[in-house]
């Protein structure tokens, strides 16, 4: 048994790991979700608003099973391994094309995706039209429709940030300890899909500006933590990051070609991405690094 294990910013001692193994063994008749919730309650693994980190705990349990440390119930295999993918093969129709000036699409509404039907339709749009598809995210996340009255214009996904990114971490100037403590104050724009029938110059940057005003408040309501910084990754072989630049996001460098959640430095071969950030508060870098003079 390892002496300790750090996962999602928390270090688990040997006795805590043994407790997790014991829970998996003694509650093997339950589903993985119930085991994860129990572990979170016993170890007080919660978000700032008191909600359980059961999604992260599921990932930890699956990692420990992969390393042969514990055995999870077979029930977890029903839906297949890994994050679920939406079904983009259903019959569909496309609305009337939207063109013209960006001001003609106002007022813009940023609406949280709510309910199973809305969630399924949002995932199908993302799976059908986004080049990366749609993987249902684990952990903290918010999904949005962007609408102009009854017209759907875009889909957005905001998620927990990348665990480590050298260019971002150098730009902030924080230590590993500060990063572990303050990482929850960063939110990642994991998906931004302008629906293909929308061809309006300048609209994407307006949507990003609206998101920067509204999403932090929604995130704080849902998760109890007010973001200080937004980040996103842009594939330079496909996009120039024009809408992010137009919305005053800052280009700070590129990734090293590892997955965004690669904590063990094993996932090589990923595409190199451009990194953009958007500070949401004055002295955001200093606050993230703990160097703000009071």
Answer for the pair 134, 98: CB distance below 8 angstroms, yes or no.
no
Q: What is the pLDDT of residue 29?
A: 75
Domain 98-289 has CATH 3.20.20.70: no
pLDDT tens digit sequence for 183-231: 989 999 999 999 999 999 999 999 999 999 999 999 999 989 999 999 9
Q: What are the sequence ranges of the domains in the chain?
A: 4-77, 98-289
Report CA dihedral (174, 176, 182, 183) to the nearest 10 degrees: 110
Task: With cut-offs at 50, 70 and 90, classify the pLDDT of residue 1.
Answer: low
For the chain, what is the mean pLDDT?
A: 85
User: Is the dihedral angle over the CA atoms 125, 91, 149, 221 positive or is it negative?
Assistant: negative
Those residues with Cβ within 8 angstroms of residue 147's Cβ, 6 or more apart along the chain or in another chain: 108, 109, 111, 153
pLDDT tens digit sequence for 15-54: 899 989 988 887 777 788 888 888 888 888 888 877 888 8
Q: Does the pLDDT value for residue 58 go beyond 60?
A: yes
Angle at 77 between CA 74 and CA 79, to 5 degrees: 145
Q: Does the pLDDT value for residue 90 go beyond 60?
A: no
Q: Does the pLDDT value for residue 12 go beyond 80?
A: yes
Q: What is the pLDDT of residue 32?
A: 87
Answer for the pair 24, 68: CB distance below 8 angstroms, yes or no.
no
Task: Please give the Cα distance from 61 to 35 (Å, whole number).
Answer: 9
Q: Between 180 and 283, where is the model more confident?
A: 283
The pTM of this model reads: 0.71
Q: Phi and psi for 68 in degrees, rounded to 5?
A: 80, 15
Among residues 143, 157, 148, which one has the least CA distance to residue 192? 157
Those residues with Cβ within 8 angstroms of residue 286's Cβ, 6 or more apart along the chain or in another chain: 292, 293
């Amino acid at each position: 048994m390892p002496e300790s294990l750090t996962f999602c910013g928390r270090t688990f001692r040997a006795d805590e790991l043994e407790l997790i193994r014991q829970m998996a063994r003694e509650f093997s008749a339950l589903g993985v979700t119930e085991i994860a919730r129990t572990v979170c309650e016993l170890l007080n693994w919660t978000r700032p608003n008191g909600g359980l980190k059961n999604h992260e705990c599921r990932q930890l349990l699956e990692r420990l099973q992969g390393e042969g440390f514990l055995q999870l119930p077979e029930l977890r295999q029903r839906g297949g391994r890994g994050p679920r993918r939406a079904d983009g093969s259903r019959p569909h129709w496309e609305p009337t094309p939207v063109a013209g000036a960006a001001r003609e699409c106002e007022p813009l509404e940023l609406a949280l995706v709510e309910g199973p039907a809305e969630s399924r339709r949002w995932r199908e749009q993302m799976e059908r039209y986004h080049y990366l598809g749609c993987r249902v995210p684990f952990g903290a996340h918010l999904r949005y429709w962007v609408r102009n009255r009854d017209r759907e214009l875009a889909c957005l996904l905001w998620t927990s940030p990348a665990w480590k990114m050298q260019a971002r971490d150098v730009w902030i100037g924080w230590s590993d300890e500060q990063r572990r403590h303050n990482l929850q104050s960063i939110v990642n724009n994991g998906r931004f899909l302008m629906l293909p029938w929308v061809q309006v110059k300048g609209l994407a940057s307006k949507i990003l500006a609206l998101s920067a005003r509204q999403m932090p408040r929604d995130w704080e309501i849902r998760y109890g933590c007010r973001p200080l910084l937004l980040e996103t990754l842009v594939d330079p072989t496909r996009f120039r990051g024009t809408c992010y630049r137009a919305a005053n996001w800052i280009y700070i460098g590129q990734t090293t070609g590892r997955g965004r959640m690669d904590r063990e430095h094993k996932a090589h071969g990923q595409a190199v991405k451009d990194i953009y950030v958007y500070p949401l508060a004055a002295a955001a870098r200093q606050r993230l690094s703990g160097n703000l003079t009071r």
